[in-house]
Structure 1
C-alpha cells in the first residue's frame, strides 16, 4: 500500500494540453470511432493523452481506413476539461477517464491529417485495427462476441442490448477478458509445447510471448493483466524454489499493477477483477454451487455502488448461461474467427444459432425475473459490506470457529442490507428535483413514505445532425431513478410535444413502469406524439387535462392552470401545473409564452414561492408583469450548456435582476434538488459546487 501511495504521488502529473502552431496529436486508428463524418477517440500528445472529437472529410476517412498512425496538425478548436457527472447516479466520465490518466478533451473545428510510419506500437495498433475491421464484416452477434472476447470492446452502439441482457441476469462477467482467457491460452500452449518436447521453462517463455500479445490486443484490459501477472509471478517463484501463498501472490500482482497504473482501482473493471480473484481464493474449499453463491454475495456491494441493482436469481442464471457460453458461444466464435475469411457462409449458420439463443436470453432478461432495484449505497457502506463479507468467508474456511459465530456475522450483514434498503425505499423526505437533461425539461417530484413518484416532462436530445444518438434518458433519468430505488413512476405530466420535453418518453416507458400519463387536452391527437407512445401505454392510462382540473394524489394535489381550451400540443398550449408541498407553492409552465402567462395572471392572479422560468429562460416567456405578480422567492432555469439558442436570454436575466428575483440554472448547478420532510427544514442542494446567483 505504501508503494502504491508513493507511486501515485510521483505520477500525479496531469496533461496540460494547449493548441499552438506547433501542436500535434497522434491517433492510433484502433482507438478511433468514425460515425458518419464525426470522429472521436483517444489521442497521444506530448505529455499524456487527450480525448479528441472532430468532423472529418472523405479524404481523411480514407487515411483512417489505412490503419496506421495518424498525425493531426494545423489544429483549430477548443480545449476543455472532461466534464463530471451533473446528476446523481449518472455515469461519471471524468472519474472514468481519470483512471486512464486522461483529464482533457479537445473539440477540433479543422485539422490536417497525415499518415506516419511508426515502430512496434504502430504495428500492434495496426493489428488491432485489422481485427476490428475483420470483426465488423462478420454477422452482428458473431462480430460482437469476437470483439468482446479478443479485443475487450464492443463494436457498435447496437451491442448495448446484449450487454444489458447479460447485466440484468447478473452474468456480465463472462464477457470479460480475464483469468479464463489466460488459463485457456496457457493450457493450449503448454500442451503444444509438451507435444514438441520443450522444457517447462521454454513453454513458459512461449506463454509469456502470447500473454504479452494478448495484453496489447486487449488494450491493457485490467482483468487480463491481473491474471497474466499472477501466472508470471507464480511461475517465476516456482522456478526459483520460493513457496508463496496464493493470497500473497495476488497481493504482489496487485502492487505491481498499481505501480504500472496508480489510478488502477478507480476503474470498476479492475476493482471487480481483484475482488473476484480474492473471492476465488477465499472460497477455494467450497463446492461449486456454494462457491458461486458466495462470490455473488461478495460482489453485491460493488454492484449496488455502481449499478444500483442486482439479480437475486443470478446463481441460477449462471447455471443456465455459463455452460451455453462455454460450450456454444466460445467454440462457435473461435471456429468462425479461423474460417470466416475462407468460408464466410459458415458464419450465417453460426449466426442463426446465436440469434435464437440470444433471443431467448433477451426474453428472459425482459421478464426482469429476480431483478431487484435496490438503490445506490454510499462508498463507506460498500466498504463495510465488502469487509464483513470477506471476514465471513474467512470464518467459513476456519473449521476451528463455531458455527454459531458465523451465523451471527451473517445475520449482521443481512441486517445491514435490510437497513440500507429501508433507508432508500422508505424515505422520510420528499423532493422536487430539476434533472440536468441539458437543453430540455425534466422535473422529478417524490413524497415522503409512502413514497409516490411523478415526472413533469422527460427531456430529450435535439438532434440536428445525421448521427444516431442514444436516448438521453438511458444515461441520466433511468440511472437517477435506479439510484434512488425507484422502479415505478405513478404519473408523468407531459407539457407539450417538443422533443426537448417529450423526446425520451418512448424509451422511458419501455424501461420503467408508469401508472398514468397526463397531458393537455388535444395533445393526444398529435400524430408525432401518438407515434412516441404507440404500443407502450394503454388507453386507460391516458388522462387529458384543462385549466381548473385537479390531479388529487395522497400527499400532493396538482392544480392545472393552463391551457384553457384544447390545443395541438404546441408551446402556446403547454400544460401548466401548480402544487404545494411543505407550505411552499410551485409553478411549472413548460414552454408557455407571454400571452399564455397573461391569461393565467388574469384568471388566477397567482403568487408562488418557486417558479420554473418559461421556455428555458427565453425572451419569449416570463413577462415582466407576470413575474412581478408571482413574486417568487426563487426561479429556476433548465437549459443546456452552450446551447445553440443562447438560453437563457440576457433580456430575461435583466428582468429578473430589475425585480431582485434570485435565480439558479442547471447550466451552473447541474441537478438542483429541494428536499422536504416532516422532521426537517426544507433545503436546496446543488449537485455541482457552484455559488447560487
Structure 2
C-alpha cells in the first residue's frame, strides 16, 4: 500500500500542477482513475488533498510571465550561477544579480567574445537588457517560457570585453568542483580529436555547445540523444566504480553510503543539476540506502519519490521535455519492462537486449512526438548497438576525470579507449541515418499522443490480466488509429486552397507556398552571422508541418539573410530544384548549396519565366536584375515574383530597392491581394507607386524583433496606414499565414496579441 500511495501522490501532485497552469480538463481524468482504485477512505482523502496542494503550490511558485521592456544602459553586479558555455567567440551563462527587482534576480548573459569564468565568480556588467522574446512560429520551442520557469526573463548582451569586469573569483565547493571539471575538459581536449572530445564532454557533462548542430540532430533522429543528458546511466556507473573501490579498500557499508551520496551531490553540482540528474541522484541515494540497510529496493517507489521531490523543488519542470523524457524512460524500464518480461518465461539474454530499449522507447514515444514531431523506427537498433559503447566511454571518462586531478598525463591512457569507442559510435550513427525510413517527421501530432496514451493504458490492462481480450482489442484499434494519423501527409491540409506563410526567421525572409494540390515552394530561408537561423526557426517549423519534400527552392538574391537558411534546408530535406537570378547563377556564392544537395538541379530564371501548376496556380518572374545591375548590390538582382490563383494574388519583392523598383514597368504592377514589403520595410525601398498601382489588401513585413536596423521604418508604416492597407509584421505577429480558395481569404497570425 505504501508504494501505491507514493506513486498515486506523485501523479496527483503533478496533475494538480498541470491543471492549475494549463487549465486543461484532461488532467482531471488521471485523478479520477487513480481515486477509483483506492478503496480506503483515509488514503483517498489524503490523495485529494495532495492533488489540490499541487495546484495551489504551482499557483504560488510559478509566476505569470510579465510584460517587460528593453533597457539600453544597465549596470549590474552578481555571481555566475551556472556552468559557463564557451562556443567559438560566444560565451553564455546565468548571473544571479544583487538587484532587488524580481525580474532581474537571474539574467542570461551573452558575451560575443570568449571569457574564462567559473560558477561562483563575482562580475560587473555594463550592457543592454532585452526581454527574452516569445517564439514567433507555431511549433517552435518556447524558450521564453522555459527560461521564465527558471526565473530568467532577460537576455543581457555584452559586445565588448571592456563591459565585463571580474570583481572576485569564486570560492567554496562550487568553485572547487568547477576547477575539477575544467581540468578534466582540458585533459580530454589534449588527448582526443576535437570531434571525439566534443562527444565525450557532452556525454560526461552535458556540454552540448561543442557539438555541431548536424551532429546533435543525427543523434536525435536515431533516438540516442539521451546519451548527452546526464542521468541514470552516469549515476549508475559512478556508483558502480565507487562500490568496486570500496570493496577494494575495505570500506564499511556506512562509509560506502556516504561516499556514494557525496559523489552524486558533487557530480550533480558539477554539471549544473539538470532534472535528469536530480532524478538519478535521488533514486541513487534511495537505492544505496536500501542496499546498505538490507531493505528491498522498490524502483517504482523510488521513482515516485524522486518525481515528487523534483516537483517540490522545481514545479515548473513538469512542463519541460527533459523532465518528461527522464521519468517516462525510467518508468518504461522499472515498470513496463518487468511486466512484459513476465509474459516470456524464457530467461534468454537476447530478449532482454531487445526489450529494455523497446520499453524505454514505448514510454517516451508520445513525448518525443509531441515536442520534436519525430518518429524514429531505427531507435531500438541504434540503442542496442550504441549504448554499450557509450557505457564504456563514460566509464573511461569517469576514471580519467579522477586521474586528471592528480596525474594529468596518465588520464590519456583511459581517454584513448574512450575516443576509440566514440569513433565507433560516430561511424554507426553515420551508417544508421542512411537506412531508408530510419526517422520520420510526421508533423504536429494534434491529439495523437492522447490516442497513444489510451492505447498504452489498454495494453497495461492486458499485461495486468484485467479485461484481457477486450483490452488487447482496444489497444490494437487505438494503435491503428495512431499509425494512420502519423501517415496522413501535410499536403492534405487545406486541400484545394492556396497557402502562403511568411515564416518568422528574425531579420530575414522565408516564405512557404503550398499549391491547392500540395506542391511546395520555399522562397528564401533567412540567415544570420550571429546564430543559426535555420536550426532555431526554419527547420523546426518545416518539421512541425511534417514537410519531408519541397518541389522548388527559390532564392531571390544571395544575401546571408535570404540564402543561408536554404543551404541548411537543401541538406536536410529533399528538394527538387533551386531557382536563382540568371544574372548570379554562376556566382561562387551558390557553391555551398550546390554541395549540400548535389542532386538538386539549379535553374537560372529571368524576367518573363513562369511556373504553371495543374491546379491553376502560377508563379511569374517580373524582374530578375541583369547586366545593368552587375556592379551594384545583390539587392538590385533580387527577384520580383507574382503569385496568382484565381482571385488571390501576391507580389513578392525580396530586397529590391528604389532604383530597381522604378525600373519595373507600371503595367507589371497589377492589383493584388498581398504585397511583401521590400527589404524588411526599409526607408530606401519605399516607392509609393508600387502600392498605388497594386492597391493591396495586406502588406506583410518580415523583420526581426527589436532589430538593430530600425526596420520597418516609421515612414513606411505611416505611408501604408495612409493608404489604408492592413499591415502584418513577423516582428510583432510572428508567422503569418494567408489561406485562400481563390475567392475568400483567411489570415492567421501566430501571435494574435503581439509580442
Q: Normalising TM by the smaller chain, what interval?
A: 0.7 to 0.9
Residue matched to 1:667: 731
Q: Residues 131-177 of structure 1, C-alpha deviation per residue, up to 9 Å, x if partnerless?
A: 3444343422442343233322225143x443222222112223432
**1:533-682 → structure 2 map (5 Å cutoff):** 533-537=593-597, 541-555=601-615, 556-563=617-624, 568=630, 570-581=634-645, 583-677=647-741, 682=745
Structure 2 spans left out of the alignment, 5+ residues: 1-12, 14-50, 342-350
The separation in 2 between residues aligned to 1:104 and 1:520, in whole angstroms, is 41
The separation in 1 between residues aligned to 2:577 and 2:239, in whole angstroms, is 57
Residue 250 of structure 1, aligned match among 292, 303, 325: 303
Asked if the contact 2:65/2:145 (under 8 Å) is kept, the reply is: no
Q: Partner of 2:338: helix, strand, or coil?
A: coil
The separation in 2 between residues aligned to 1:405 and 1:319, in whole angstroms, is 30
Q: Residues 10-68 of structure 1, C-alpha deviation per residue, up to 9 Å, x if partnerless?
A: 323589998999842212584253643x5421111246421012456x9xx4xx36x57
Residue 506 of structure 1, aligned match among 567, 574, 578: 567
CA distance change for structure 1 residues 397 and 21 in 2, over 3 Å: closer, same or farther?
closer
Residue matched to 1:296: 361
CA distance change for structure 1 residues 177 and 149 in 2, over 3 Å: closer, same or farther?
same
Matched, 1:689 2:742: no
Residue matched to 1:493: 554
Q: Which moved more, 1:643-652 or 1:508-517?
A: 643-652
CA distance change for structure 1 residues 386 and 415 in 2, over 3 Å: closer, same or farther?
closer
Q: Cα offset for 1:514? A: 0.7
Residue matched to 1:52: 109
Asked if the contact 1:162/1:362 (under 8 Å) is kept, the reply is: no
CA distance change for structure 1 residues 68 and 130 in 2, over 3 Å: closer, same or farther?
farther
Matched, 1:101 2:151: yes
Q: Partner of 1:414: helix, strand, or coil?
A: helix
The separation in 1 between residues aligned to 2:600 and 2:265, in whole angstroms, is 61
The separation in 2 between residues aligned to 1:197 and 1:688, in whole angstroms, is 63
Residue 149 of structure 1, aligned match among 194, 199, 203: 203
Residue 443 of structure 1, aligned match among 493, 511, 516: 511
Q: Which moved more, 1:604-613 or 1:116-125?
A: 116-125
CA distance change for structure 1 residues 425 and 396 in 2, over 3 Å: closer, same or farther?
farther
Residue matched to 1:466: none
Q: Cα offset for 1:584? A: 1.2
CA distance change for structure 1 residues 626 and 154 in 2, over 3 Å: closer, same or farther?
closer
Q: Cα offset for 1:195? A: 4.9
The separation in 2 between residues aligned to 1:353 and 1:118, in whole angstroms, is 36
Residue matched to 2:33: none
Q: Cα offset for 1:682? A: 2.9
Residue matched to 2:441: 373
Residue matched to 1:361: 429
The separation in 1 between residues aligned to 2:546 and 2:209, in whole angstroms, is 31
The separation in 2 between residues aligned to 1:87 and 1:111, in whole angstroms, is 34
Matched, 1:135 2:215: no
Asked if the contact 1:438/1:640 (under 8 Å) is kept, the reply is: yes
The separation in 1 between residues aligned to 2:741 and 2:295, in whole angstroms, is 63
CA distance change for structure 1 residues 275 and 473 in 2, over 3 Å: closer, same or farther?
same
Asked if the contact 1:446/1:454 (under 8 Å) is kept, the reply is: yes
The separation in 1 between residues aligned to 2:501 and 2:84, in whole angstroms, is 38
Residue 213 of structure 1, aligned match among 242, 250, 266: 266
Q: Cα offset for 1:585? A: 0.9
Q: Partner of 2:315: helix, strand, or coil?
A: coil
Q: Cα offset for 1:262? A: 1.2
Structure 1 spans left out of the alignment, 5+ residues: 464-468
The separation in 1 between residues aligned to 2:75 and 2:695, in whole angstroms, is 56
Residue matched to 2:577: 516
Q: Cα offset for 1:397? A: 2.4
Q: Residues 355-411 of structure 1, C-alpha deviation per residue, up to 9 Å, x if partnerless?
A: 365234224324564211211223x543x1453244144224223543453133122
Asked if the contact 2:73/2:128 (under 8 Å) is kept, the reply is: no
Residue matched to 1:185: 238
TM-score under structure 2 length normalisation: 0.81
Asked if the contact 1:308/1:376 (under 8 Å) is kept, the reply is: yes
Report the aligned-residue RMSD: 3.3
The separation in 1 between residues aligned to 2:257 and 2:411, in whole angstroms, is 35
Residue 123 of structure 1, aligned match among 168, 176, 189: 176
